[in-house]
């Protein structure tokens, strides 16, 4: 299509770029390829509330796995595009979506070296997302996976592919691996707080729903991050029927090193054995069918004073809303006597 002929020959470069982006956004994405990978690759999707420590956990887990001789690919599927920042010492990766847009405008094809980078045996990339307020993050995930297909994703010979997803599985894009059997199992990262366990419970609900529709994805377990020993996350795991894969303590040394973009999961380091155990658990944990909790059951894991139980819901009245007395007007409704 000749965009300038459509919007006018005197259109500026900005107008042309805007028209191209709108044209691209109007095209429905192709169906995502869901046939099994040719190699017996474990594709594992990790979910959790934003800021709960998914990226920290995955950077150290993937590094530890690579040091054990495994070939690992880490894919950031969060619009924040921060999954790989710890792995690369705070440096940001060019995202697939941003790189694809630039290459398309230049009439060039995206190559693996444009979007995939490596450190000490770990391969990593970021899908990215739209600019703030300008698009759907889930749609960005779908487009990102389409490009991975074109780059030969299902031909790559990895032992593990780790997908870092935001826990908002009510969005079709973020729920993609569960809905379309794009992974074999799911891991949730949570802590001893209500919001992170609410997200973990939503992920369990999504897994249960799609298994009822014939899906095969299961939950491998829960990683407790910033564990302060209060026990709510452990109680949640027991209630929904999933194992605890690791409990990473709320430790000042971990917090400080993470803030400085340092990998702590190296073999032989003070925290190496923790991630050795997590790597083993991730590799061997079977995908199980969880039993998600109701809202009241989830709240029941916490002390009453922490979540507001005992508060009575008092219905509002018309007078409350208007600040005046309600005038009762006669009804024009015709009521017929019944025989």
Question: Same domain, yes or no, for 147 and 5?
Answer: no
Scanning 111-224, the segments in alpha helix (DSSP H) are: 112-115, 137-150, 176-179, 194-212
Is 54 assigned a catalytic role?
Answer: yes
Question: Same domain, yes or no, for 157 and 37?
Answer: yes
Q: Is residue 335 part of a domain?
A: no
Per-residue pLDDT, 223: 97
Q: For residues 34 and 139, what is the distance between their CA atoms, to the nearest angstrom?
A: 17
All residue ranges of the chain with pLDDT < 50 are 3, 32-39
Q: Three-state SS string across 257-293, please?
A: HHHCCCCCCCCCCCCHHHHHHHHHHHHHCCCECCCCC
Question: Same domain, yes or no, for 192 and 253?
Answer: yes
- Residue 134 sits in which domain range? 33-307
Question: Same domain, yes or no, for 39 and 178?
Answer: yes
Q: For residues 200 and 47, what is the distance between their CA atoms, to the nearest angstrom?
A: 8
Per-residue pLDDT, 189: 96
Place of tokens 């599927």: 77
For residue 227, what is the enclosing H or E element? Answer: strand 218-227
Is 257 assigned a catalytic role?
Answer: no
Question: Same domain, yes or no, for 22 and 142?
Answer: no
Q: Is residue 103 part of a domain?
A: yes
Query: Smallest Cα–Cα separation from 238: which of 222, 249, 227, 225?
Result: 222
Question: Same domain, yes or no, for 75 and 87?
Answer: yes
Dihedrals phi, psi of 36, to nearest 5 degrees: -60, 150
Query: Smallest Cα–Cα separation from 246: which of 61, 69, 51, 82?
Result: 61
* Residue 181's CATH number: 3.40.50.300
Taking only the tens place, the pLDDT of each residue in 235-247 is 999 999 999 999 9
Q: For residues 23 and 103, what is the distance between their CA atoms, to the nearest angstrom?
A: 16
Domain count, the chain: 2
Query: Smallest Cα–Cα separation from 306: which of 183, 195, 147, 228?
Result: 195
Per-residue pLDDT, 109: 87
Q: Is 244 helix (H, G, I), strand (E, B) or coil?
A: strand
Identify the active-site residue in 78, 168, 185, 227: 168
Q: Is residue 92 part of a domain?
A: yes
Identify the active-site residue in 70, 71, 80, 118: 80
Q: For residues 207 and 177, what is the distance between their CA atoms, to the nearest angstrom?
A: 10
- Characterise 152 by phi-psi region: left (phi > 0), alpha (psi -120 to 50), beta (else): left
Question: Same domain, yes or no, for 119 and 150?
Answer: yes
Q: State the pTM of this model.
A: 0.78
Question: Same domain, yes or no, for 258 and 283?
Answer: yes
Q: Give the list of residues 6+ apart from residue 261 with CB closer than 8 angstroms, or none.
A: 85, 86, 88, 89, 90
Number of residues that this document lists for the chain: 339
Q: For residues 241 and 204, what is the distance between their CA atoms, to the nearest angstrom?
A: 10
Q: Is residue 46 part of a domain?
A: yes
Q: Is residue 332 part of a domain?
A: no
| Tokens standing for residue 235 | 């109680």
Q: Give the list of residues 6+ apart from residue 210 with CB closer than 8 angstroms, or none.
A: 178, 179, 217
Q: Is residue 339 part of a domain?
A: no
Residue pair 287/218 in contact (Cβ under 8 Å)? The answer is yes
Per-residue pLDDT, 138: 66
Return the half-sphere exposure (C-beta side, CA atoms, 13 A cut-off) of residue 318. 4
Residue pair 48/174 in contact (Cβ under 8 Å)? The answer is no
Question: Same domain, yes or no, for 133 and 7?
Answer: no
Is 102 assigned a catalytic role?
Answer: no
- The strand pair at 42-48 and 185-190 is best described as parallel
CA geometry: angle 322, 325, 326, nearest 5 deg: 80
Q: Is residue 312 part of a domain?
A: no
Q: Is residue 319 part of a domain?
A: no
Per-residue pLDDT, 282: 95
Question: Same domain, yes or no, for 37 and 25?
Answer: no
Question: Same domain, yes or no, for 81 and 20?
Answer: no
Q: Give the list of residues 6+ apart from residue 67 with CB closer than 8 angstroms, or none.
A: 120, 121, 266, 267
Question: Same domain, yes or no, for 237 and 257?
Answer: yes
């Amino acid at each position: 299509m000749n965009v300038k002929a459509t919007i006018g020959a005197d259109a500026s470069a900005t107008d042309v770029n805007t028209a191209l982006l709108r044209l691209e956004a109007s095209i429905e994405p192709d169906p995502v390829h869901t046939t099994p990978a040719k190699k017996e690759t474990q594709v594992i999707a990790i979910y959790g509330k934003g800021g709960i420590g998914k990226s920290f956990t995955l950077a150290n887990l993937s590094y530890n796995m690579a040091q054990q001789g495994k070939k690992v690919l880490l894919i950031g599927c969060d619009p924040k595009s921060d999954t790989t920042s710890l792995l690369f010492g705070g440096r940001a990766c060019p995202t697939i979506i941003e790189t694809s847009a630039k290459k398309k405008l230049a009439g060039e094809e995206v190559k693996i070296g444009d979007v995939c980078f490596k450190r000490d045996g770990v391969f990593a990339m970021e899908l990215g997302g739209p600019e703030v307020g300008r698009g759907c993050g889930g749609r960005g995930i779908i487009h990102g996976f389409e490009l991975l297909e074109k780059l030969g994703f299902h031909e790559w010979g990895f032992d593990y592919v780790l997908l870092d997803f935001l826990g908002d599985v009510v969005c079709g894009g973020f729920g993609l691996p569960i809905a379309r059997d794009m992974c074999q199992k799911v891991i949730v990262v949570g802590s001893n707080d209500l919001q992170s366990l609410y997200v973990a419970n939503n992920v369990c609900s999504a897994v249960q729903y799609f298994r009822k529709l014939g899906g095969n994805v299961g939950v491998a377990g829960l990683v407790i991050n910033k564990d302060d020993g209060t026990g709510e996350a452990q109680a949640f795991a027991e209630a929904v029927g999933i194992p605890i894969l690791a409990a990473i303590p709320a430790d000042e040394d971990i917090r400080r090193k993470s803030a400085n973009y340092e990998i702590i999961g190296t073999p032989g380091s003070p925290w190496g054995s923790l991630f050795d155990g997590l790597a083993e658990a991730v590799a061997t944990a079977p995908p199980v069918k969880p039993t998600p909790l109701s809202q009241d059951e989830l709240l029941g894991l916490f002390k009453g004073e922490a979540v507001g139980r005992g508060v009575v819901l008092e219905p509002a009245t018309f007078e409350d809303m208007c600040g005046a007395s309600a005038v009762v007007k006669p009804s024009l409704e015709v009521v017929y006597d019944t025989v």
